[in-house]
Amino acid sequence: MNILLTGGTGYIGSHTAVVLAQAGHQIVLLDNLSNSDISVLARVKALTRSHIAFVHGDVRNQELVHKVLMDHHIDAVIHFAGVKAVGESVEQPLRYYDINVGGTLSLLKAMRHARVFTLVFSSSSTVYGNPQYLPIDEDHPTRCTNPYGRSKLHVEEMLADLAAADPHWRIALLRYFNPIGAHDSGLIGEDPNDIPNNLVPYIARVAAGKLECLRVFGNDYPTPDGTGVRDYIHVVDLAEGHMAALQALARTNQSLHVYNLGTGQGYSVLEVVRAFEQASGKTIPYHIAPRRAGDIATCYAQAARAEAALGWKAQRTLQDMCASAWKFQASLVLE
Ligand code: NAD
Ligand code: UD1
């Protein structure tokens, strides 16, 4: 298949590009490089020994996207491009709606014009809000407490309306839990520009000596050790989930599908710290800090639907996630 990945040089996009190109698909990456570096392209090419086309541009540029769809005879789009920091979304809601909602709307119009009707969308477990029950299945009510989450939910609703209105569409909404880790090669991974908000990139920098000490946000949650529990999923498993979703869309008669992509297993902050210490051989200094505003105690997926419908199941362990994240981090130290 000819597949367009918007946001393709980003963290999840680049890993998905590798998985798809290695499976023989023709890949086009479109990215405005607002949160990724062009050096990723050479790395993806080196890993896959394939030709990977790159278009430097904004997903909101409908004319450009239409041209890319036509020029490359695109069969399907995976839409990663977007902004994703919860705190920033509270400060800059219009930017979040513009890029995440406006960007998707523009992409959909370009796709319809080019008669490309297959779409995989990057959604998030954040659409479930504070869980009413665990594990969280796809029928769990949705509720968002910040503009980032609401932008994802708005897009999901827009896609559901579109799927209901026009039977040409084949759309998969993938609700990711907590993607972490890196490609086994250590060549690509997650390296945020600013001080990381997320746990594992932060720990990786502490292990590398770039940050002093991890703040553990709260140890008084109703969890086994009092720290927050999340469903961490290896980014390569997640990438493979996208390929499985595309394959499933090719054989379905139904327009809209919703899948959780998680492992079904939760780990606490302190369990992740210990796993990272083991993987890296480094001590991770930490102290207990107050709870972070907006955080929930526990979140993990019911992953059965994806397994049954996509034949996909996350394979990699927390050790694999930490070891690969550390390999990538260590390669940055050497650069
Ligand atoms: P990322 O920031 O690494 O990748 C996003 C890419 O999109 C970046 O390369 C950025 O330059 C590009 N981009 C941003 N705005 C653009 C625009 N207007 N036009 C073209 N390109 C643009 O983020 P990621 O972690 O790879 O996330 C990918 C998607 O998955 C996002 O939509 C995010 O909301 C979603 N998601 C991520 C997580 C996570 O934990 N990483 C969890 C749930 C959902
Ligand atoms: C966050 C986002 C969520 C997004 C997800 C992507 C918030 C409130 N939620 O989820 O919308 O989809 O990232 O992966 O930002 N922690 C620490 N110290 C740190 C960082 C984190 O103790 O320095 C703890 C948190 O309190 C939490 C766990 O580690 O218990 C995971 O945090 P994080 O990686 O930020 O992910 P989420 O909060 O689950």
The reported pLDDT for the residue numbered 193 is: 80
Ligand 1 atom 12: the closest Cα is on which residue? 7
Query: Do 309 and 249 meet the contact criterion of CB atoms below 8 Å apart?
Result: no
Q: Per mean pLDDT, which range of 65-69, 194-198, 243-247 is the poorest?
A: 194-198
Query: Do 225 and 233 meet the contact criterion of CB atoms below 8 Å apart?
Result: no
Ligand 1 atom 34: the closest Cα is on which residue? 84
Ligand 2 contact via 124 beta carbon (within 6 Å) = yes
Q: Which atom of ligand 1 is nearest to the CA of 190?
A: 3
Q: Which domains does the chain have, with CATH numbers?
A: 2-182+232-262 (3.40.50.720)
Give the integer Cα–Cα distance in Å for 258 and 271. 30
For residue 222, the one-letter residue type is: P
The reported pLDDT for the residue numbered 192 is: 83
Ligand 1 contact via 132 beta carbon (within 6 Å) = no
The reported pLDDT for the residue numbered 191 is: 85
Ligand 2 contact via 86 beta carbon (within 6 Å) = yes
On whether the pTM is more than 0.95, the answer is yes
Tell me how far the alpha carbon of residue 264 lies from the centroid of ligand 2, in angstroms.
17
Write out pLDDT tens, residues 101-123: 999 999 999 999 999 999 999 99
- Residues in contact with 101: Cβ distance below 8 Å, sequence separation at least 6, in sequence order: 151, 154, 155, 158
Ligand 2 atom 9: the closest Cα is on which residue? 86
The DSSP-derived string for 142-169 is: P--SSHHHHHHHHHHHHHHHHHHH-TT-
The reported pLDDT for the residue numbered 127 is: 97
Question: Could you give the percent of the chain with pLDDT greater than 90?
Answer: 96
Residue with tokens 């607002």: 34
The reported pLDDT for the residue numbered 333 is: 63
CA 188 to each of CA 62, 217, 253, 257: distance values in angstroms, whole numbers, following the listed order = 29, 28, 36, 29
Mutate to test the pocket of ligand 1, among 5, 6, 9, 11 (most ligand atoms within 8 A of CB): 11
Tell me how far the alpha carbon of residue 273 lies from the centroid of ligand 2, in angstroms.
14
Whether pLDDT at 334 is above 80: no
Query: Do 7 and 82 meet the contact criterion of CB atoms below 8 Å apart?
Result: yes
Write out pLDDT tens, residues 165-197: 999 999 999 999 999 999 999 999 998 888 999
Residue with tokens 């477990």: 125
Whether pLDDT at 281 is above 90: yes
CA angle, residues 158, 311, 308, in degrees to nearest 5 = 75
The reported pLDDT for the residue numbered 174 is: 98
Question: Which residues are known catalytic residues?
Answer: 148
Average pLDDT over the chain, rounded to whole? Answer: 97
Tell me how far the alpha carbon of residue 198 lies from the centroid of ligand 2, in angstroms.
5
pLDDT category of residue 158 using cuts at 50, 70 and 90: very high
Residue with tokens 């399907």: 76
The reported pLDDT for the residue numbered 60 is: 98
Ligand 2 contact via 32 beta carbon (within 6 Å) = no
Whether pLDDT at 66 is above 70: yes
Q: Which atom of ligand 1 is nearest to the CA of 179?
A: 40
Query: Do 108 and 64 meet the contact criterion of CB atoms below 8 Å apart?
Result: no
Give the integer Cα–Cα distance in Å for 325 and 237. 14
Give the integer Cα–Cα distance in Å for 178 and 136. 13
Mutate to test the pocket of ligand 2, among 180, 230, 260 (most ligand atoms within 8 A of CB): 230
The reported pLDDT for the residue numbered 194 is: 85
Tell me how far the alpha carbon of residue 106 lies from the centroid of ligand 1, in angstroms.
16
